[in-house]
Amino acid sequence: MDFGSINWLAVIACVVVSMISGSIWYNPKTFFPMWWKVVGAGREQPGMENMGMTWGLTILGSFVQAVAMAFMIKTMGSTSAGSGAMTGFMLWLGFIAPTYLVNKLFAGHGLKIWAIEIGNHLVNFVLFGAILGAWR
The full set of domain ranges for the chain reads 1-20+65-136
Write out pLDDT tens, residues 63-88: 999 999 999 999 999 999 999 999 99
- Asked if residue 51 has pLDDT above 90, the reply is no
pLDDT digits (tens, 9 = 90+) for 99-132: 999 999 998 998 999 999 999 999 999 999 999 9
Instruction: Output the CA–CA distances (angstroms, integers) from residue 60 to 16, 33, 123, 135, in the order listed.
Output: 12, 25, 18, 21
Percent of the chain with pLDDT over 90: 76
pTM of whole model > 0.95? no
DSSP state letter for 99:
H
